[in-house]
Amino acid sequence: QKEVEQDPGPLSVPEGAIVSLNCTYSNSAFQYFMWYRQYSRKGPELLMYTYSSGNKEDGRFTAQVDKSSKYISLFIRDSQPSDSATYLCAMSITTGNQFYFGTGTSLTVIP
Amino acid sequence: DVKVTQSSRYLVKRTGEKVFLECVQDMDHENMFWYRQDPGLGLRLIYFSYDVKMKEKGDIPEGYSVSREKKERFSLILESASTNQTSMYLCASRLFSGANVLTFGAGSRLTVL
């Protein structure tokens, strides 16, 4: 079993829709949870960063962590064509050098 | 903002060639990483450096070596390129060990013929 599982999609939604992206994980030691956005032929860029459980909001983006279910989500409200990208979840434990990445979900927002 | 620069965006090499991929960061980060990214496999860690001249193997170090002679520069070396090393290579850095945010470069797309 992989440490982090992420549905690869592809996901296609109309402009203005609410998008839900999800990852599950198996290691209960994970404490830091990140979402990266990667445009085609570019490197990943950090979108959201959350420590432990709870919600974090930044503009149209909300990151949610449910440690009891080992499940994290990224919600995008009022999705825009510029949100079309691959979204990677990533996790790490409190200390250490390893980051564990999902394989990414490809999102297309149709105008 | 930290900038991580990968000088070669697209490379085409032949089997058996020696390949150098260069990465430079401009914000005095202690740690630097090399990953490769393949469809369906996600990001896999090749090597990690926590300080100048210090390195640790990641999950897939075979066929690769690294060099970190200066704090800002981390090089990935393919001693004898093979077709199964065709991939997207991503360099990343972070401020110090224990910091939990990585900053990535734009990537180097390597094709080995």
**For the segment B40-62, what is each residue's pLDDT rounded down to a tens digit?**
888 999 999 988 989 999 999 99
The helix (H) or strand (E) run that includes residue A72 is strand A71-76
Chain A neighbors of B104, CB-CB under 8 A: 36, 43-45
Q: What is the pLDDT of residue A2?
A: 76
Query: What pLDDT, in 10s, does the model give residues A86-106?
Result: 999 999 886 666 889 999 999
Residue A26 is classified by DSSP as -
- Does the distance separating the beta carbons of A41 and B102 come in below 8 Å? no
Instruction: Give the rounded percent of residues in chain B with a pLDDT score beyond 70.
Output: 96
Of B79, B102, B83, B100, the closest CA to residue B91 belongs to B102
CA B68, B69, B75, B76 torsion-angle sign: negative
Residues of chain A in contact with residue B98, where contact means CB-CB under 8 angstroms, are: 94-96
User: Is the separation of the CB atoms in B79 and B67 below 8 Å?
Assistant: no
Question: What's the average pLDDT block by block, 10 residues per block, for chain B (113 residues)?
Answer: 86 96 93 93 93 92 96 96 97 81 93 97
Chain B residues within 8 A of A98 when measuring between CB atoms: 45
Please report the beta strands in B8-107, taking only residues with DSSP state E, as ranges in sequence order. Answer: 10-13, 19-25, 31-38, 42-51, 54-57, 64-70, 73-78, 87-94, 103-104
B interface test, pick of A30, A50, A91, A97 with most B CB neighbours within 10 Å: A97
CB contact under 8 A, B100 and A49: yes
